[in-house]
Structure 1
Amino acid sequence: MGNNQASPIWERQQADAMQRMRDGGGLPGLARMEQLAGKSGREILEAMMSGELPYPPMNETMNMTLLKVGDGYAVFQGIPLLQHYNPLGSVHGGWFAALLDSALGCAVQTTLPVGRSYTTAELSIKIVRPASHKTGPLRATGRLIHGGGRLATAEARIEDEQGKLYAHATTTCFVFDVSTTG
């Protein structure tokens, strides 16, 4: 298989993940606080993946999907399209950033207990290879490095199906108690 020919396996896995969410009633949107109450970070992500909770609307814009979560890791997959191009004719760095930030943040989220949440405080990205609409599916795998009471750090890599590296990143996330009073 050449550099610009994607295997249909990863494309099918992404389509299957989206179909599972939709079959479970999942639509793009925002979950209400009462839907999140009593769920750990990982349980929230698993509920999104099953369609019980809405998934982020940006997933459709960026053509990306959460495929898998575990303790301290998350895997997102995206397929770059022409709509993700910069004026120079390749995939915009913001597309890479969105895919990486999602995997990084969700890796942190998988470790959070009920009543805790996070936000990205710092994101550092290195793009080592350009992507195009011919590249095919790319996966960002995020892994927790440190999970503290106030700060968490994680690292992620974007690779193609052959294991070729496209970008890598690190993050620092601020961890906090969720306010139920708005």
Structure 2
Amino acid sequence: MNLIKMTGLELMQMGANLPGNMGDRGIASVIPMKITEAEQGRVSFTARADERHTNPMGAIHGGFAATVLDAATGCAVHTLLPAGIGFGTVDLNVKMVRPVPINEELFAVGEVIDRTRTSAISQAMLKDGDGKIYAHATATCRILGRA
């Protein structure tokens, strides 16, 4: 399998079918998150904060939510890109709504809300199973290459 020849959507769909946390590679080895669905302009993740993600006061560090939301917004953009074209997050704005719970499965859905030839804007929310929002983010991504 040649990853460079796969579209962004194909890569994200492959990630949804890997065992564990996106194959337990890279950032997913530190932040337990998993792609569960991918379609054009939209991805879904599950994530679970644990003791490794606490700050000195014992609460979940805000970087946990920011990292999951960065992944969700970026991966949503990636689903729109052809093979061999990448992206980079230029701007990530995260609003923390309430403290992230420890050892509870959370869900993040990222979706593209605008796309041009050179950039895309996406958003994502981190929620629990009841739909309670813990954090919201918007991101601007630069498309790298000729998309």
Same fold, TM-score > 0.5, yes or no:
yes
Tell me which residue corresponds to 2:133. 165
Normalising to structure 1: TM-score of the pair?
A: 0.73
Q: CA RMSD in A?
A: 2.0
Partner of 2:98: 129
Paired residues, number: 144
Q: Any gaps of 5 or more consecutive residues in structure 2?
A: none
- The aligned counterpart of 1:99 is 68
Tell whether 2:28 aligns with 1:85: no
1:177 CA displacement: 1.6
Contact 1:149/1:175 (CA < 8 Å) preserved in 2? yes
2:28 pairs with 1:67: no
SS of residue paired to 2:130: coil
Post-superposition CA distance 1:47-79 (Å, at most 9, x none): 233349956322121111111111101111111
1:120 aligns with 2:89: yes
**In 1, are the aligned partners of 2:16 and 2:38 still within 8 Å (CA)?**
no
State which of 110, 113, 116 in structure 2 corresponds to 1:142: 110
Instruction: Give TM-score, length-normalised by structure 2.
Output: 0.90
Q: Residue type matched to 1:77 in 2?
A: T
Distance (Å, rounded) in 2 between the aligned partners of 1:159 and 1:173: 23
| Counterparts in 2 of 1:171 and 1:81: CA distance versus 1, 3 Å | same
Quick check: which has more Rg, 1 or 2? 1
Counterpart of 1:109 in structure 2 is 78
Alpha-carbon separation, structure 2, partners of 1:42 and 1:70: 7
Counterpart of 1:76 in 2: which secondary structure? strand
Give the AA of the match of 2:107.
R
1:76: which partner in 2? Answer: 45
Please identify which structure carries the higher strand content.
Answer: 2
Runs of 4+ in structure 1 over 2 Å off: 47-57
Distance 2:43 2:65 in 1: 16
Calculate percent identity across the aligned residue pairs. 33
